[in-house]
Amino acid sequence: MVHARGDAAPQRSFVEFAGVQKSYGSMKVVTDLNLGIERGEFVTLLGPSGSGKTTCLMMLAGFENLSGGDILLDGASIGSMPPQKRNIGMVFQSYALFPHMTIAENIAFPLQARGIGKSETAERVAKALAMIRLDSFGGRLPGQLSGGQQQRVALARALVFEPSLVLMDEPLGALDKQLREEMQYEIMHIQQRLGVTVVYVTHDQTEALTMSSRVAVFNGGKIQQLGPPKQIYEEPANSFVARFIGENNRLNGTVRTMDGGACTVDVGDGQNIRAAAINVSAVGEPTMLSIRPERAVIGAAAANAENSFEATIDEIVFHGDHLRMSATLCAQPGFIVKIPNGAGVSVGSPGDRIRIGWAASDCRALDHG
């Protein structure tokens, strides 16, 4: 949400959660949520079960009442508006297609409910079928389609009446891995082509990082971090985000020195690590260091790194395009290094000593968590 200077009215986001609260009795599910979503954005609400992300989507759809605050759509309050008057498209994990209706009839249903004429309805349905590449499937029943095809139909039905906002609640959760990955690109490309605003809920990190313009990471009914996928992944703001998003090495220690945006952390056994001081503020604080496995290097490259340590290889696992090495480093086991599987790559064997290093800028000192 951006506020103009002087006496000008504040510039509103297209979707705006303003101090939104949700409680069930004494249990707070969402606490003072302030979130602005711009027109044409693809924003994903990401978090573990019970974090509040789905509740926020249901309040935006109108299926859950607000306990406090307000939600605005294009500047107008919709916090107390019934769902059918919000003109919002919705895609569920369960597809929610009518089994006795043909595919064309399913897609036409929201148009008929809005009193759109037969000629225009037929034209829009034909365009929607072409958009999802199911032109010749209009006469079939949902049961005659695969899961991925049914999900495409559910997407077309949510878009056919040209809503300005589409909400998606774990829409790919029922699909197998390969089909889920294909549908991620399908949905992303359709959204980009149409320019529609999407609010998407998932607990799948890869899905969120692949599809979104911005990701809101939820935990305990609050947004822990909001930003573009690359920022969320590369620059976790706290220990929860670092643990939840992707694979992360975590080393526990105590801040020994502070120097502007950098710090030195004692991780025990006389070992000190240089890191970016992100969520620590004073010498003596406990901290969790976060280092992505792909940022660590081994062997000769490690010798010249700002942080460079001898380690013992515990395990090496082949993953096709990379090797995943686990080692004990600074007396803490489970330090992971991802090594590209290139020509002539040589790592060693379990029990071998190896040097591991990384840049101080790739190491983030966060709250202890």
In tens, the pLDDT along 258-303 reads: 998 999 999 988 899 999 999 998 999 999 999 999 999 998 889 9
In whole angstroms, give the CA distance from residue 217 to residue 45. Answer: 6
Pick the range with the lowest mean pLDDT from 83-87, 104-108, 117-121: 83-87
CATH code for the domain in which residue 32 is found: 3.40.50.300
In whole angstroms, give the CA distance from residue 196 to residue 17. Answer: 19
Token pair for residue 50? 């019970």
**Do 117 and 196 reside in the same domain of the chain?**
yes
In whole angstroms, give the CA distance from residue 197 to residue 162. Answer: 11
Residue 21 in any domain: the answer is yes
Residue 289 in any domain: the answer is yes
Residue with tokens 């294909």, as numbered in its chain: 182
Residue 2 in any domain: the answer is no
Written in H, E and C, the secondary structure of 242-261 is: HHHCCCCEEEEEEEEEEECC
What is the domain range of residue 355?
Answer: 240-366
**Do 97 and 230 reside in the same domain of the chain?**
yes
> Which of 212, 239, 266 corresponds to the end of one domain?
239
**Do 129 and 226 reside in the same domain of the chain?**
yes
Residue 171 in any domain: the answer is yes
Q: What is the pLDDT of residue 10?
A: 61
Instruction: For residue 301, give Cα distances in angstroms to 29, 276, 315.
Output: 48, 21, 21
pTM for the whole thing?
A: 0.88
Confidence of residue 2 (pLDDT cuts 50, 70, 90): very low
> Which of 239, 257, 276 corresponds to the end of one domain?
239
Q: pLDDT tens across 351-363, in order?
A: 999 999 999 999 9
Would you say the C-alpha torsion 347, 350, 352, 357 has a positive or negative sign?
positive
**Do 284 and 355 reside in the same domain of the chain?**
yes
Q: What is the pLDDT of residue 196?
A: 94
Residue 5 in any domain: the answer is no
Residue 1 in any domain: the answer is no
**Do 285 and 234 reside in the same domain of the chain?**
no
Mean pLDDT calculated for residue range 167-180: 87
**Do 150 and 266 reside in the same domain of the chain?**
no
Residue 8 in any domain: the answer is no
φ, ψ for residue 197, nearest 5 deg:
-80, 130
DSSP 8-state symbol, 126: H
Q: What is the pLDDT of residue 5?
A: 44
Whether 184 contacts 229, CB under 8 Å: no
Mean pLDDT calculated for residue range 85-114: 92
Give the number of domains in the chain: 2
The answer on pLDDT for 4 being more than 50 is no
Mean pLDDT calculated for residue range 115-140: 93
| DSSP-derived pairing of the beta strands 353-358 and 307-318 | antiparallel
Q: What is the pLDDT of residue 148?
A: 87
In whole angstroms, give the CA distance from residue 229 to residue 181. Answer: 17
Confidence of residue 341 (pLDDT cuts 50, 70, 90): confident
In whole angstroms, give the CA distance from residue 361 to residue 276. Answer: 6
**Do 349 and 206 reside in the same domain of the chain?**
no
